[in-house]
Amino acid sequence: MPKVFLSPSTQEWNKYVNGGTEEQYMNILADYMEPLLQASGIDYVRNDPAKNVLGAIDDSNAGQYDVHLALHSNAAGGNYAGRIQGVDVYYSPYSEFSKKLADIIAANMKDGTYPDPSRVKTEPTTSLAEVNRTKAVSVLAELGYHDNVTDAEWIKNNIPQIAESLVKSLADYFGIPFINGGNVRYGTVVTDGSGLNIREFPASTAAVVGSIPAGATVTVLGDAGDWYVVNYNGTRGYSSKQYIQMN
């Protein structure tokens, strides 16, 4: 399964113009992303909110992740405080994959998520550490300007939609279906006695990442055509619907 290091802001000192902080709302956003990531078959780890950005980078680099996604909101400051709006998606100019992911995120933000598509853009950066010092492909998304009343209200009132847009972007990047999962369900594996494969992607040719014994109960997180997104003893992936009887 693809694996993401999810890094919401730890900047509790960045105050929203209408109350709250950047750390608070980016972590709420990450909370909303979690069930969508699970349903779409994307594994993830979140940063430690007690650590700063360097700690997040160290933790990310200590693991094996396909993507490092940093979640932030912006502030113009100075003479421009409160006067700028928009979504800025930062990528590494040294990585075609970083740019690819940034372009996908921006395209999905423009497609009905952010109210003014002309204010959504991608920007190369060589100065942002979370983009340029991670082993994983990294993007930092500045999701609106929290010192602007209109953007701050947009962030607060559209957390579920922003979460869906970001997870859909990750699914598009990985080439897997986006699944807006509902409630977690449970099923029983029904085979001829052999184990049921858990695969990395929803295809019979995809790599096998685990197995579920016949008769075992499995957690079903979502469905993708002829496949369920499943979790069995901590292993997440795709298993054929044909061999799972829903409880």
Q: Give 203-231 pLDDT, tens digit per residue.
A: 899 999 999 999 999 989 888 889 998 88
Q: Give 135-150 pLDDT, tens digit per residue.
A: 999 999 999 999 999 9
DSSP line for 205-242: TSPEEEEE-TT-EEEEEEEETTEEEEEETTEEEEEEGG
- Three-state secondary structure call for residue 129: helix
User: Residue 120: its pLDDT value, please?
Assistant: 98
Q: Give 162-191 pLDDT, tens digit per residue.
A: 999 999 999 999 999 898 866 678 999 999
Per-residue pLDDT band at 1 (split at 50, 70, 90): confident
- Three-state secondary structure call for residue 182: coil
Nearest-angstrom CA–CA distance, 246 and 71? 36
Helix 149-157 and helix 159-174, axial crossing angle in degrees, nearest 10 = 70
User: Residue 146: its pLDDT value, please?
Assistant: 97
Is pLDDT of 77 > 90? no
Q: Give 14-54 pLDDT, tens digit per residue.
A: 999 999 999 999 999 999 899 899 888 899 999 999 999 99
| 88: its two tokens | 């800025």
Name the CATH superfamily, with its identifier, for domain 185-246.
SH3 Domains (2.30.30.40)
Which one, of 72, 62, 89, 88, lies nearest residue 173 by Cα?
A: 89
Is pLDDT of 108 > 70? yes
Could you say which DSSP state residue 191 is in?
A: S
Report the CATH number of the 3-174 domain.
3.40.630.40
Q: What stretch(es) of the chain map to CATH 2.30.30.40?
A: 185-246
H or E segment at 28?
helix 22-39
Q: Are 16 and 146 in contact (CB under 8 A)?
A: yes
Share of the chain above pLDDT 70, in %: 99
**Four-residue CA torsion sign, 169, 172, 176, 178:** positive
Q: Which residues pair with 149 in a beta bridge?
A: none
Per-residue pLDDT band at 73 (split at 50, 70, 90): very high
User: Residue 151: its pLDDT value, please?
Assistant: 98
Mean pLDDT, the chain, rounded, equals 94
User: Residue 225: its pLDDT value, please?
Assistant: 84
User: Residue 182: its pLDDT value, please?
Assistant: 62
Distance of CA 190 to the CA centre of its chain: 32
User: Residue 201: its pLDDT value, please?
Assistant: 85
Q: What stretch(es) of the chain map to CATH 3.40.630.40?
A: 3-174
